[in-house]
Amino acid sequence: MRILIVDDEPAARHRLAALIEEIDPAGFEIVGEAGDGMAALELARERRPDVILLDIAMREVDGFDVARHLIEPRPLIIFQTAHHQFALKAFDHDALDYVVKPVRKARLASALERARIRLAAPVRGRGWDVSALAGAGQAFGYTPTAPARLLVRHGAGHRLIALRTIRRFSADDAGVGAHHLEGRSLTDYTLADLETRVGAQFVRTSRADLVNVACIDHVASNGDGSLTITIRDDDALRVSRRRAADVKRRLQAPH
């Protein structure tokens, strides 16, 4: 079984590697160690692990970001968390498991054993859906910090784009795209995800648009309660009457 270890503390990675080695040196192969989320995604794409031992609280790209951006066929995930009081009931999923920190050897062994059994099942039964992650942060008592950069799709993989260079996010049939200096890149987040993640800097102007407050150049009233906003280097957008008050309030807030 191929295992990828992801933790931003080098000593913690070494310990996990040593524990795995002690549990079953023949059956488990550590295919890589990553110290941050981006490295984790790259290694996952390159080395195709069966299981990722994934730390949740990491700087910038956290464990949930990594889980969401893993490409098919997704490896099984064993999250590592310092907090678990709600996780037992709320986070009950075959393909997604967790161990608490500091990780006990016996607990790690049983989580890896469960993964081994699951991997032995027919291929169709192995996968898991990104929607399984919904509410997982809450279950682990984890609140993500507002990131400075955001993951967008780039070729076969992903790259990070500075949030302040993103003028807006828009949703269409192809998915959710980020409009930035070099064009439009698709993201794996939904607008609702983004709103909770970057809601402090962005404001929802319609069902399909989330606009960077700092990039709004001009606001005009249409007379019927709705607004037209002009975004720097971008289109003018209409804001419905329902959302107009919220947009006005956000533009008046100091920034």
Partner 1 sequence: MGSIIRDALASASPAVRTLVRRILGFCLVALLLQAWDSRDGEGAAGIAELASVVLGISGIGLLGLAHSLHLVMQDAAAKATPGGDGPGVQRVLLAIPAVGFVAGIALGCAVLLMGLRGVLGTEWPLVLLGLVLYTTLTVLAGRVVMGSVQTLFDFATQQAEAAASSRTAATSARLEALQARMNPHMLFNALNTVASLVRSNPSAAERVVEDLSDVLRMGLDWSAQPLKTVDAEVAYVSACLAIDRERWGSALTVNWNVSDDIRDCLVPTFLVQPLVENALKHGLGGRLEGGTIGIHIASLGSDLQVVVEDDGVGFPPAWEDGVGLGNLRQRLHALYGSRASIVVDRPDAGARVDARVPLRRSHS
Contact residues: partner 1, CB under 8 A? 8-12, 14-15, 18, 36, 38, 57, 59-61, 82-83, 85, 100-103, 141, 145-148, 198, 200-201, 213-214, 250, 253-255
Q: Which is nearer to partner 1, 82 or 208 (CB)?
A: 82
Instruction: Tell me phi and psi for residue 20, to 5 degrees.
Output: -60, -40
Residue 202 burial class via C-beta count within 10 angstroms: exposed 0-12, middle 13-18, buried 19 and up: buried
| Residue 17 identity (one-letter amino acid) | A
Q: Which is nearer to partner 1, 5 or 133 (CB)?
A: 5
Dist. CA 148–CA 150, nearest whole Å: 7
Q: To the nearest whole angstrom, how small is the minimum distance from the Cβ of residue 123 to partner 1?
A: 35
Q: To the nearest whole angstrom, how small is the minimum distance from the Cβ of residue 97 to partner 1?
A: 18
Q: To the nearest whole angstrom, how small is the minimum distance from the Cβ of residue 35 to partner 1?
A: 9
Q: Which is nearer to partner 1, 131 or 252 (CB)?
A: 252
Q: Which residue(s) pair with 180 in the sheet?
A: 183
Q: Which is nearer to partner 1, 8 or 50 (CB)?
A: 8
Q: To the nearest whole angstrom, how small is the minimum distance from the Cβ of residue 234 to partner 1?
A: 19
Residue 73: is the preceding peptide bond cis (ω within 30°)? Answer: yes
Q: To the nearest whole angstrom, how small is the minimum distance from the Cβ of residue 9 to partner 1?
A: 5
Q: Which is nearer to partner 1, 167 or 250 (CB)?
A: 250
Q: To the nearest whole angstrom, how small is the minimum distance from the Cβ of residue 16 to partner 1?
A: 8
Tell me the three-class secondary structure of 111-164, residue by residue. Answer: HHHHHHHHHHCCHHHCCCCHHHHCCHHHHCCCCCCCCCEEEEEECCEEEEEEHH
Dist. CA 177–CA 150, nearest whole Å: 12
Do the beta carbons of residue 167 and residue 111 sit within 8 Å? no
Dist. CA 136–CA 138, nearest whole Å: 5
Q: Which is nearer to partner 1, 19 or 119 (CB)?
A: 19
